[in-house]
Structure 1
Amino acid sequence: MIRASCHTADNALALEFDATPWFREANALSILHLAEKGWSSVWVADALEARPGYEGLHRLIDYAATRLRDESLEDPTWAAIECVVSQPDATQWLGENRPEIALLLQRRQADPGSRSTHPADR
């Protein structure tokens, strides 16, 4: 299980959830990009919130989209939700289930110059 947590910017809602399905389906570049972002991104929550068993995540996203909408419209850089994936859980799971991606992560950590997953960023 890859633990992840999300909370709204006003801390009215927070929850933990299993991010494993996202890691099972995500392509290597998406996972590498998540790692570059410090294992913090709403992409994982967005991808899982409509699935059965993720109703709490759906409520959190819906709350942020409706109740916190005005604040996010005033400042487009303001994040209504923050989500973080457990890096130890993710790297362990990747090593056991997607070793090719785990190897890419190890190589990127060893060579900081190769961090970007996007050619335009290099």
Structure 2
Amino acid sequence: MIHATCHTADNVVCLEFDATPWFSEAEPPSIIGLAQHGWSSAAIAESLEHRRGYERLHELIQYAAQRLQPESLEDVTWDTFACVVDGPEAMAWLATNRPDIAARIPAEVRQPA
């Protein structure tokens, strides 16, 4: 399991979820980009939110869109929610299950700062 946490910008909704399905299906550039961005991306949550078992993730994203999105219109750089993957767990999983991708992630970005 690759743990990930997601929280709304106002911290009203916070949860942990399994990001492994995303890593199983994501294209190599997406995974490498995630590593290069500190193992943080809303795209993971957005791609999993409609799956069975990820209902709370869907609720978090819905809350962010309905309650926080209007506030973000004033500052388009403001993220309504954030998701962070456990980098060491991701690298361990990739090394076992998708070693070709693990090898392409530069050493300096393998661990979160």
Q: Which of the five TM-score ranges fits, normalised by the shorter chain?
A: over 0.9
Q: TM-score, normalised by structure 1?
A: 0.87
Distance in 1, matches of 2:16 and 2:107, equals: 27
Shift of 1:16: 0.1
Structure label with greater radius of gyration: 1
Distance in 1, matches of 2:67 and 2:82, equals: 15
Shift of 1:71: 1.1
Aligned positions, number = 109
Distance in 2, matches of 1:103 and 1:11, equals: 35
Identity over aligned residues, as a percent? 58
Structure 1 residue ranges, 4+ long, deviating more than 4 angstroms after superposition: none
User: Residue 87 of structure 1 corresponds to which residue in structure 2?
Assistant: 87
Query: Which residue among 104, 107, 110 is the counterpart of 1:109?
Result: 107
* Unmatched runs of 5 consecutive residues or more in structure 2: none
Q: TM-score, normalised by structure 2?
A: 0.93
* AA at the equivalent of 2:95: G
Q: What are the superposed Cα offsets for residues 76-118 of structure 1, whole Å, 9 maximum, x if unpaired?
A: 000000110000110000001000011111xx226x8xxxxxx
* Unmatched runs of 5 consecutive residues or more in structure 1: 113-122
